Amino acid sequence: VFATPTAAARELAAEVRQLIEYRKAEGRNAVLGLATGSTPVPFYRELIRLHREEGLSFQNVITFNLDEYYGLAPEHPESYARFMAEQLFNHIDIPNENIHIPSGQVPGNQVFVHCREYEEAIEKAGGIDLQILGIGRTGHIGFNEPGSSKESLTRRITLDRITRQDAAGDFRGEQNVPHFAITMGVGTILRGRKLALMAWGENKAGIVARAVEGSVTDTVSASFLQEHPDARFFVDQGAASELV
């Protein structure tokens, strides 16, 4: 539990720096799983600062994003591809070919193959060293809405009503929010060697408490993190306020 999101984001970014430098010393790549949304913004800001002011290079970093809205082109203002470019990738020296984001535009009859190839690409990269996560008010990690099984892999999913309502502001109305997304599965996420979930503000306090202290259940996908050997929550005072 941290005093502010900035303090938590700095700590996590310092860990990412260590991982990147450690892997570089070994002559290997660091593989990061990344999230979008408002939560990781201070974390990405700190990574950009480390790059600009402290010379941290991302040349040996490979990234896999958790999810993308299905039906959106990468140029769409609310696509996660665009978000990642604006919030992180345009400001660091990561090679373009090292960036992976599920496609929101793959035709319906190719979704299954696309998702399988995404899983294969993660495996080929050596698996995810550190997976960054946020949490939705439905308890989703990635877009694994309630009912997602612990074994679920990358697939197309129907977004929950609450998730679409929460995105309505960004899309200027709930009617403009896509109904589907492509997301890594809970099983995909749980294969990551280390998991770090960030959450800020009282709005997230109830779901953080259920994820951390409630029973492990597919009605709260984030509760499966309790069964992972190296999963941590980075929260501010607000998000921690309903923890016992």
* Residues of this chain that bind ligand F6R (CB under 6 A): 35-39, 66-67, 134-136, 140-143
Strand pairing report for 130-133 and 194-199: parallel
At 68 the three-state DSSP class reads strand
Query: Which lies closer to ligand F6R via its Cβ, residue 38 or residue 176?
Result: 38
Closest approach of Cβ 36 to ligand F6R, in Å? 4
Query: Which lies closer to ligand F6R via its Cβ, residue 141 or residue 231?
Result: 141
The closest residue (CB) to ligand F6R is 134
Closest approach of Cβ 28 to ligand F6R, in Å? 26
160: number of CA atoms within 13 Å, CB side? 19
Closest approach of Cβ 129 to ligand F6R, in Å? 18
Closest approach of Cβ 39 to ligand F6R, in Å? 3
Query: Which lies closer to ligand F6R via its Cβ, residue 21 or residue 202?
Result: 202
Closest approach of Cβ 24 to ligand F6R, in Å? 26
The number of beta carbons lying within 10 Å of the beta carbon of residue 11 is: 14
Tokens 């201070």 identify what position?
42
Query: Which lies closer to ligand F6R via its Cβ, residue 58 or residue 83?
Result: 83
Query: Which lies closer to ligand F6R via its Cβ, residue 35 or residue 130?
Result: 35
Closest approach of Cβ 38 to ligand F6R, in Å? 4
Closest by CA position to 188, among listed 240, 235, 149, 230: 149
Tell me phi and psi for residue 138, to 5 degrees: -85, 0
Listed in order, strand segments (DSSP E) in 23-108 are 30-34, 61-65, 67-69, 99-100
Query: Which lies closer to ligand F6R via its Cβ, residue 129 or residue 145?
Result: 145
Q: Give the integer Cα–Cα distance in Å for 61 and 210.
A: 33
The answer to whether the CB of 58 falls within 8 A of the CB of 93 is yes
